[in-house]
Structure 1
């Protein structure tokens, strides 16, 4: 008998756990599952990678299985909100694994893919919906989904939601949820703003805390190298080359490199490729297909190095990440905690190496105050300058990267769609996409999706209006031909007025020729 069977979980869930080889629960699972089975609200304070998904999934699925209800159109019984696409997809995948031996519909929606296809999939209803706030509100605004039947609500990574600017979408979602529900609120940190937000969602909760607030993973060895900004790329390339080589003294199994900006992530990949290091970038400017392919290659160990921005720090759950590189130090100390949390997962050890420029030292001091851990300062390699001079030049930008740059310059990011909150470029993702449109492509006034599958109304002009426009155009063309080349009058008013046409020295000759009498068959005589 395992701990999970002692709790009285439904038999299909126990079979799924046995198939996964889960016998010993994590601390947050031990403290959360009994209270959630009783139907209590919960406030969980735990770092990523501590088993939170199973902690809220197992008791919630147990409740849905033991209290079956028919699915209702365009609604769900359990709603899980996640800040990023990758984390939402990961939660949905894990929940499908737990519910593999029971007939249960688990849907996942996020930005970057057509909203119409997702809306049609939700028409028959589902048992569990995992969503990002922006896309969820888009579908609600388009009347393609409703929250009136939600029995269990889960808000995961609440502090990341706040960092991305989801506060207003979350407040709006809170107003749409029914009052009678079970609410679960998880966060890695608990500042006052998060605590105030939690009071809007949960009522008399059980508080579960499995790690001190804002602490880093104990099994992560935290190192730092002081270096100028211009030399960071050479040091990174040399470190990866040495660690990925066979028989390395400090072998690198998988590595995640964090940058602050999207174009910075692409630039790192362009430098690594000529050095023989296969790497892929993942950030908000990449299409969903590109992000999925990069993560799949990283999970399957075909790609050893993944370059990411902070928005992806919470959504990457890959075992075997031995190293995390802070190529650029985050200016928000809490982000450092989430970055290095990508390593030392599932009981393994990990190394976090930060490249610290002169202007980034205040960020390191803030991180050390927050975590209570002093980073170990390492010296530069002895042969750094000589080896750095031998590194190949960076590769040229690919056509896809140039298209991404063009979209950035034009103010359109990620195809004009976003999955909620504040984007990495500083714009709202939930209320507006980076291209100024909703995630579905058109605004709600231009396009509405019905829960019954009606065709969208795209605001196109009617046939009668098009015919009237065509008739007006034909009349204008006829009037223009009838003027026989007469001079067009100047525009009225001081603005837009055209200067009088300059008369040529040959104009009097042309006027005399036009005024000459002509008879039947008589040819025009040229004057002068």
Structure 2
């Protein structure tokens, strides 16, 4: 199927052809006609499926038609009256979506701007005052502009919630509701989410009007193009094993996930000491530092980038070959998001997890979510120390026994109180 067959006008078809798009992806094939029809949609799509074009292209076309209609009626739009708003959970995703929308609209009169924290409010205010049709923003910074009166949401025709599941995980639900209170009730709302948790479904039911459900990838399913492997290893030897894998297997572009911001910085420093050029990105770093690190990684100036889940959300890295879970995630769903960074756009990738004995519970949760057993392999020279597991099992048994005795004692005490009361 062609983009023209989906209902896009010749101008936009020429643009996507110029950008190198040949045929629509499954999410684009299903979503574009629905968005052009004016429907609200609830779409299940992971990063790398082409979802930005799925909502961006038809949104631009509808805004162009609306502008033409008002022009014919002699209506002059207020420069600060934004027509479409795209909310994203992170700065990186906001910038990525902005760049894509800017590329899709380059041959039109549509004006695009981006607003997120960590950068100058003044620069954003200047852009907003000059006139914006489509604004891409993170919830917190958008509310800053709303409270100071530098943004007007009263003319919003289309609202997009991109990666809604992550926004809710990050605690943005209250901010999202405050933002929507400033918008007209009559609008088109498009919700995109990699997973549909109960919280996401509740939000969807609250804000969408008779939505069309689109699912191009089964929920919580990892891409078949990604080879997964788990290496059991003692916690204190994880970094040593990671350096060995990167060096001996000549991995040139590796995205590594840690649980904490401090852990990402420390691991990057240790990799550098091992002779591996590495950078880290996390929420404690300035936006400029994060962008420089990402740029160096994309350009091949560094071999490894160590990131936390929040910092890596929305990163679009072409031809990324390897993702490593240095720490298994607290939430099993994050495993799907992490390894979804590789094996994209028809390419293959590898997802490696380094698992210590105290993380076996996390692996079980991931396997339960995926409904499959992940392959495990012991690497010669890095086999886990069996005495550590034995000690851990004894501690676990001792703790369980203490809890059992404590619980039993509590029951007897309660019985005694009840008998006294009688």
Whole-Å Cα distance in 2 between the matches of residues 282 and 304 of structure 1? 14
1:188 aligns with 2:194: yes
2:91 pairs with one of 85, 90, 95: 85
**Aligned-residue CA RMSD in angstroms?**
1.5
Does the 8 A contact of 2:88 with 2:137 survive in 1?
yes
Q: In the alignment, what sits opposite 2:275?
A: 276
CA shift, 1:384, in A, is 8.1
CA shift, 1:381, in A, is 2.8
**Aligned partner of residue 264 in structure 1, secondary structure:** helix
CA shift, 1:175, in A, is 1.5
Whole-Å Cα distance in 2 between the matches of residues 75 and 64 of structure 1? 13
Whole-Å Cα distance in 2 between the matches of residues 64 and 43 of structure 1? 20
1:175 aligns with 2:174: no
Q: Deviations over 1:149-191 (max 9, x none)?
A: 1001100001001110111101111222111111100111111
Whole-Å Cα distance in 2 between the matches of residues 71 and 105 of structure 1? 13
1:339 aligns with 2:345: no
Whole-Å Cα distance in 1 between the matches of residues 129 and 302 of structure 2? 38
1:75 aligns with 2:85: no
Tell which structure's C-alpha radius of gyration is larger: 1
Whole-Å Cα distance in 1 between the matches of residues 280 and 77 of structure 2? 40
1:374 aligns with 2:376: no
Whole-Å Cα distance in 2 between the matches of residues 46 and 373 of structure 1? 21
CA shift, 1:112, in A, is 0.2
Whole-Å Cα distance in 1 between the matches of residues 122 and 237 of structure 2? 47
**Aligned partner of residue 3 in structure 2, secondary structure:** helix
- Could you tell me the TM-score, scaled by structure 1's length? 0.70
Whole-Å Cα distance in 1 between the matches of residues 94 and 302 of structure 2? 22
Does the 8 A contact of 1:253 with 1:321 survive in 2?
no
Unmatched 5+ stretches in structure 2: 71-75, 385-422
| 1:226-305 mapped onto 2 (5 Å cutoff) | 226-244=232-250, 252-305=251-304
Unmatched 5+ stretches in structure 1: 245-251, 386-528
CA shift, 1:71, in A, is 4.2
CA shift, 1:104, in A, is 1.9
Does the 8 A contact of 2:264 with 2:306 survive in 1?
yes
Does the 8 A contact of 2:241 with 2:382 survive in 1?
no
Greater than 4 Å deviation, 4+ residue runs: none
Q: Deviations over 1:249-272 (max 9, x none)?
A: xxx242100001111001111111
CA shift, 1:370, in A, is 0.3
Label 1:64 to 1:234 Cα distance change in 2 as closer, same or farther (>3 A): same
Does the 8 A contact of 2:233 with 2:383 survive in 1?
no
Whole-Å Cα distance in 1 between the matches of residues 90 and 372 of structure 2? 28
Structure having the larger proportion of residues in helix? 2
Whole-Å Cα distance in 2 between the matches of residues 78 and 214 of structure 1? 30
Q: In the alignment, what sits opposite 2:27?
A: 28
CA shift, 1:207, in A, is 0.6
| 1:53-132 mapped onto 2 (5 Å cutoff) | 53-68=52-67, 70-132=76-138
Q: Deviations over 1:441-490 (max 9, x none)?
A: xxxxxxxxxxxxxxxxxxxxxxxxxxxxxxxxxxxxxxxxxxxxxxxxxx
Whole-Å Cα distance in 2 between the matches of residues 253 and 47 of structure 1? 25
**Aligned partner of residue 377 in structure 1, secondary structure:** coil
Q: Deviations over 1:228-284 (max 9, x none)?
A: 11111111111111122xxxxxxx242100001111001111111122211111110
Whole-Å Cα distance in 2 between the matches of residues 323 and 142 of structure 1? 44
Does the 8 A contact of 1:41 with 1:204 survive in 2?
yes
Q: Deviations over 1:414-450 (max 9, x none)?
A: xxxxxxxxxxxxxxxxxxxxxxxxxxxxxxxxxxxxx
Q: In the alignment, what sits opposite 2:172?
A: 166
Q: In the alignment, what sits opposite 2:222?
A: 216
Whole-Å Cα distance in 2 between the matches of residues 348 and 36 of structure 1? 29
Whole-Å Cα distance in 1 between the matches of residues 37 and 5 of structure 2? 15
Q: In the alignment, what sits opposite 1:502?
A: none
Q: In the alignment, what sits opposite 2:348?
A: 349
CA shift, 1:108, in A, is 0.5
Q: In the alignment, what sits opposite 2:315?
A: 316
**Aligned partner of residue 137 in structure 1, secondary structure:** helix
Does the 8 A contact of 1:71 with 1:124 survive in 2?
no
Whole-Å Cα distance in 2 between the matches of residues 193 and 272 of structure 1? 39
CA shift, 1:304, in A, is 2.2
Does the 8 A contact of 2:47 with 2:314 survive in 1?
no
Q: In the alignment, what sits opposite 1:139?
A: 145
Does the 8 A contact of 1:33 with 1:56 survive in 2?
yes
Label 1:141 to 1:374 Cα distance change in 2 as closer, same or farther (>3 A): same
Q: Deviations over 1:275-320 (max 9, x none)?
A: 2211111110111111011111122222221110000232211111
Does the 8 A contact of 1:189 with 1:213 survive in 2?
yes
**Aligned partner of residue 122 in structure 1, secondary structure:** helix
Q: Deviations over 1:189-220 (max 9, x none)?
A: 11111101112221001110111111111211
CA shift, 1:66, in A, is 2.2
Does the 8 A contact of 2:227 with 2:349 survive in 1?
yes
Whole-Å Cα distance in 1 between the matches of residues 204 and 14 of structure 2? 34
Whole-Å Cα distance in 2 between the matches of residues 24 and 304 of structure 1? 32
